[in-house]
């Protein structure tokens, strides 16, 4: 019994020894195979011609990129120079337009806007050529400057548009085609009462029925008979500015009508406190009378019109002072 157990143990050790030997043999074979393979692998070696070709190609690519960067940098410089010229032009326009007086807040924003020097940070540290990094920074600066210019031009456009609207509302058109003044604005002896009073408008001598036209566009606020004025038309032009057309023989508009500059609104007459056929024309700002000649354009009447009106004016002058 003991002999059988000893034989089994001996056989087990023998099998284990054989397995270890086989494993060692396989490991050694793998190591040997890897060594042989490494000896067979040959590192590639470039010839001198191949190295020269690769170097020349890299130099050509570098020169091409550098040339394009330089061309782009030159265009950026030209664009920024034009931007500075536009900035100077816009400021001169603002100066001529008197923005500093009418819109000081806009003028202040203009003065705060300043453009950086042209192409001040594009060269490399050695100054040999343009750098892509410096060009990128310059493009960012240029984009910011263009944005500021856009905002400023928008403000200037708003100011000029507003001013155009205000100027369009001014009563600059002669209300009648008879330029002869029988009485001007200012202190005078009233032809009815004989007392010295302020004549708050202009009197245009004209025959009855002569068309009366709006000196500027606006909204009709009065179209009625008023004491002293007779048949009266009043037009509101906005911003506290109104015009009045008095002593009319007939009225062609009604309250609330929107009229345009030059539109027929009434006809000359002698209603109310009047000594003859004429138009009494007033301009008022916030209720205060202003001299209408400050607004009326210096219009030269046609020669034939002056000839036709001369006889009528002479006849009416004797009645209206």
Q: What is the pLDDT of residue 192?
A: 65
Residues making up the chain, counted from first to last: 321
Q: 160-213 pLDDT, tens per residue?
A: 777 777 777 899 999 999 888 888 888 877 766 677 788 899 999 999 999 999
Per the structure, the count of domains in the chain is 2
Are 308 and 193 in the same domain? yes
Are 158 and 200 in the same domain? no
Are 152 and 108 in the same domain? yes
Domain for residue 18, yes or no?
A: no
Question: What are the two backbone dihedrals, phi and then psi, of residue 286, each rounded to the nearest 5 degrees?
Answer: 55, 35
Are 206 and 278 in the same domain? yes
Are 142 and 201 in the same domain? no
Domain for residue 52, yes or no?
A: no
Q: How far apart are CA 169 and CA 259, in angstroms?
A: 11
- Residues 96-119, mean pLDDT to the nearest whole number: 61
Are 207 and 159 in the same domain? no
Does the model's pTM come out above 0.75? no
Is there a contact between 209 and 267 (Cβ–Cβ < 8 Å)? yes
Is there a contact between 273 and 264 (Cβ–Cβ < 8 Å)? no
Distances (CA, A) of 44 to 41, 47, 139: 9, 10, 45
Q: How far apart are CA 160 and CA 102, in angstroms?
A: 11
Are 140 and 229 in the same domain? no
The angle subtended at Cα 157 by Cα 155 and Cα 160, nearest 5°, is 110
Q: How far apart are CA 160 and CA 93, in angstroms?
A: 10
Is there a contact between 213 and 264 (Cβ–Cβ < 8 Å)? yes
Are 264 and 147 in the same domain? no
Q: How far apart are CA 91 and CA 77, in angstroms?
A: 21
Location of structure tokens 């019994």: 1
Domain for residue 112, yes or no?
A: yes
- Residues 125-131, mean pLDDT to the nearest whole number: 48
Are 219 and 146 in the same domain? no
Domain for residue 38, yes or no?
A: no
Domain for residue 27, yes or no?
A: no
Q: Which residue range(s) make up the domain with 124?
A: 60-169
Domain for residue 26, yes or no?
A: no
Are 307 and 234 in the same domain? yes
Domain for residue 120, yes or no?
A: yes
Location of structure tokens 């048949």: 231
Are 115 and 209 in the same domain? no
Q: How far apart are CA 194 and CA 321, in angstroms?
A: 12
Q: What is the pLDDT of residue 255?
A: 96
Ranges 25-34, 147-156, 200-209, 305-314: which has the least confidence: 305-314
Q: 211-233 pLDDT, tens per residue?
A: 999 999 999 999 999 999 999 99
Q: 272-314 pLDDT, tens per residue?
A: 988 899 999 999 999 999 999 999 875 444 444 334 444 444 4
Are 132 and 206 in the same domain? no
Query: What is the Cβ-side half-sphere exposure of residue 226, based on CA atoms within 13 angstroms?
Result: 13
Closest to 153 (Cα-Cα) out of 118, 110, 115: 110
- Give the chain's mean pLDDT: 76
* Domain closes at, from 123, 149, 169: 169
Domain for residue 78, yes or no?
A: yes
């Amino acid at each position: 019994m003991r002999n059988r157990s000893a034989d089994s143990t001996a056989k087990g050790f023998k099998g284990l020894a054989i397995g270890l030997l086989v494993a060692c043999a396989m490991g050694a074979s793998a190591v040997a195979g890897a060594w042989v393979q490494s000896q067979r692998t040959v590192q590639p070696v470039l010839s001198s011609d191949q190295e020269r070709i690769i170097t020349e190609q890299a130099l050509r690519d570098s020169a091409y990129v550098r040339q394009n960067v330089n061309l782009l940098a030159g265009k950026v410089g030209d664009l920024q120079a034009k931007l500075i010229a536009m900035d100077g032009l816009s400021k001169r326009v603002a100066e001529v337009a008197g923005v500093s007086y009418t819109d000081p807040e806009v003028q202040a924003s203009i003065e705060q806007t300043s453009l950086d020097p042209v192409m001040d940070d594009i060269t490399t540290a050695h100054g040999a050529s343009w750098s892509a990094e410096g060009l990128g920074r310059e493009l960012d600066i240029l984009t910011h400057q263009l944005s500021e210019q856009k905002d400023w031009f928008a403000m200037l456009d708003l100011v000029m548009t507003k001013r155009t609207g205000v100027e369009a509302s001014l009563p600059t058109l002669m209300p009648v085609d008879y330029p002869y003044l029988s009485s001007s604005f200012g202190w005078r002896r009233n032809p009815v009462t004989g007392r010295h009073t302020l004549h708050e408008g202009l009197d245009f001598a004209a025959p009855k029925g002569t068309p009366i036209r709006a000196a500027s566009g606006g909204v009709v606020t009065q179209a009625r008979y008023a004491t002293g004025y007779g048949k009266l038309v009043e037009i509101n032009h906005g911003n506290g500015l109104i015009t009045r057309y008095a002593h009319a023989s007939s009225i062609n508009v009604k309250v609330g009508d929107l009229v345009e500059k030059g539109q027929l609104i009434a006809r000359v007459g002698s209603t109310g406190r009047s000594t003859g056929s004429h138009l009494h024309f007033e301009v008022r700002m916030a209720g205060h009378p202003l001299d209408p000649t400050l607004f009326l354009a210096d219009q030269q009447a046609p020669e034939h019109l002056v000839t036709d009106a001369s006889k009528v004016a002479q006849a009416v002058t004797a009645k209206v002072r």
